[in-house]
Amino acid sequence: MNFAYGEKELVFAAEVEQFLDEYLSDPARRAAVSDRHPEQLSQTVDTAAKREFIAALAERGWLGMSWPVEYGGAALSGIYDFMLTEALARRGLPQPGKGVGMVGKTIIRNGSAELKERFLPRIIRGEIEFAVGYSEPEAGSDAANMQLRAEHVGDHWLLNGTKMWTTSAHFADWYWLGARTDPDAPRHRGITLFLIPMDSLGLEVTPIMTMGDERTNQVFFDKVRVDDDCVVGELNRGWTYICEALDLERFAMMPMGPLETKAAALFDWAREATREGRPIAEDPRARRQLALVATDLQVARALQKRVLAAALGDTVPTVESSQYKLFMNEAGQRVADTALDLAGVAGQLRVGQRHTPQDGRFERSYRYTVVDTIGGGTSEIQKNIIATRALGLPRSF
């Protein structure tokens, strides 16, 4: 397969870069919408500025470019979505989000006509943000064990229970979540997907700060009412939809831009920093470590292309996404480990402290890479997927 961009793709890439240069030319706007260190795709940017930026992308028709025309898309190849995501990631800018990818595509495939009419136009105009609720106190990596109960009463459902690690809950408009609607069914059945307004009565969001300086949330449900028309797809088939959405999320949430930016910062620092009067980059041991980082970048790019090839072939890249996410997480940790190792004691200094290399990005990155191994399915889950679906190994008990 030829992965070189054609003329139309190159024109689009140049158009995106020109727009970003112009949009970020205002220092105040750049400070509000762009994270300090692009490799950390955190939720710390100003919410209003983020929405303004996403709306600007929507005005140019850049949200849902690969969606069918009847739903407001342009029926373009998914390569355009990919190129846009990478361009934004390189600059630490907000991504189109879960709405365009996970939520929108699942509704297109499985949602009712009413849900499509209600949500797809707002998603593609950048007017709505979603939180995703799969994990629970007793169902973290094992999402099939979710116990949030949904009881059908008349023409609606009542939800009771708890969700964990919902990163976007404090600024999202709608909650996309799974709940158990048939407690007597096998674990992977009896789960249904719902869409719930975040301002629903009985829904409470409590913050949790992670070691990566990012806020996530615990969400409590106390007789939260959900109407029948907010059920996504078929009743009790939510697990199938969740698996498809997670495969899409793993690819969308792991663009190459942040890893490349982080590695480039490390290379630049190594060229300028000195140890005992000599540039660190001239030390044979340091050069070997930096070469391994450069090698990781090449491997990550190759794995990313495999995911892209599967996705463009209109298949769900389950195994490919797991391989790519697992390697990207481990590569990010190796870059952070290398940076702290080469920086020595100074590498442990945090953002804002004196004499810290790269304004503390290495130390912060080291902590944040732990968070990366959890979102979208832990590294252990990715290994299980690769083992069972790619290698044909038996499941462990």
Is the pLDDT at 193 greater than 70? The verdict is yes
Who has greater pLDDT, 377 or 80?
A: 80
Query: Please, what is the average pLDDT of the chain?
Result: 88
Given 249, 260, 320, 363, the catalytic residue: 249
**Does domain 131-238 fall into CATH 3.30.56.10?**
no
Helices (H), the chain: 7-23, 27-33, 47-59, 79-90, 104-110, 113-124, 238-252, 256-272, 284-312, 318-343, 361-372, 379-385
Q: What is 254-390's CATH superfamily?
A: Butyryl-CoA Dehydrogenase, subunit A, domain 3 (1.20.140.10)
| pLDDT for res 156 | 95
Candidate ranges 32-41, 157-166, 240-249, 308-317; pick with highest mean pLDDT:
157-166
| pLDDT for res 206 | 97
pLDDT digits (tens, 9 = 90+) for 303-349: 988 888 877 776 667 888 889 999 999 999 999 999 999 998 888 88
Enumerate residues 6+ apart whose C-beta is below 8 A from 91: 20, 24, 34, 38, 257
Q: Say if strands 278-279 and 149-153 run parallel, antiparallel, or are unpaired.
A: unpaired
- H/E stretch holding 36: none
| pLDDT for res 141 | 67
* Per-residue CA distances from 221 to 200, 203, 206 (Å): 9, 5, 12
Is 138 catalytic? The answer is no
pLDDT band, very low/low/confident/very high, at 41 (cuts 50, 70, 90): very low
Break the chain into its structural domains and give their ranges: 7-96, 131-238, 254-390
Q: How far apart are CA 168 and CA 207, in angstroms?
A: 10
pTM: 0.86
Burial of residue 295, with CB atoms counted within 10 A of its CB: 0-12 exposed, 13-18 middle, 19 or more buried? exposed
For the domain made up of 7-96, give the CATH fold. Butyryl-Coa Dehydrogenase, subunit A; domain 1 (1.10.540)
| pLDDT for res 314 | 64
Is the pLDDT at 43 greater than 70? The verdict is no
CA-wise closest residue to 130 among 76, 78, 54, 66: 54
With H, G, I as helix, E, B as strand and everything else as coil, classify residue 303: helix
pLDDT band, very low/low/confident/very high, at 268 (cuts 50, 70, 90): very high
Q: How far apart are CA 241 and CA 133, in angstroms?
A: 13
Q: Say if strands 130-133 and 174-180 run parallel, antiparallel, or are unpaired.
A: parallel
- Contacts of range 358-362, beta carbons closer than 8 Å, 24 or more positions apart: 358/265, 358/269, 359/36, 361/36, 361/37, 361/39, 361/262, 361/265, 362/266, 362/336
Is the pLDDT at 364 greater than 70? The verdict is yes
Instruction: Give the residue-averaged pLDDT of 253-276.
Output: 87
Write down how long the chain is.
Answer: 397
* Per-residue CA distances from 13 to 10, 125, 195, 256 (Å): 5, 21, 34, 16
Give the relative orientation of helices 256-272 and 361-372 as an angle to the nearest 10 degrees. Answer: 150
CB count in 10 Å sphere of residue 367: 16
pLDDT digits (tens, 9 = 90+) for 54-86: 999 999 999 999 899 999 999 998 889 889 998
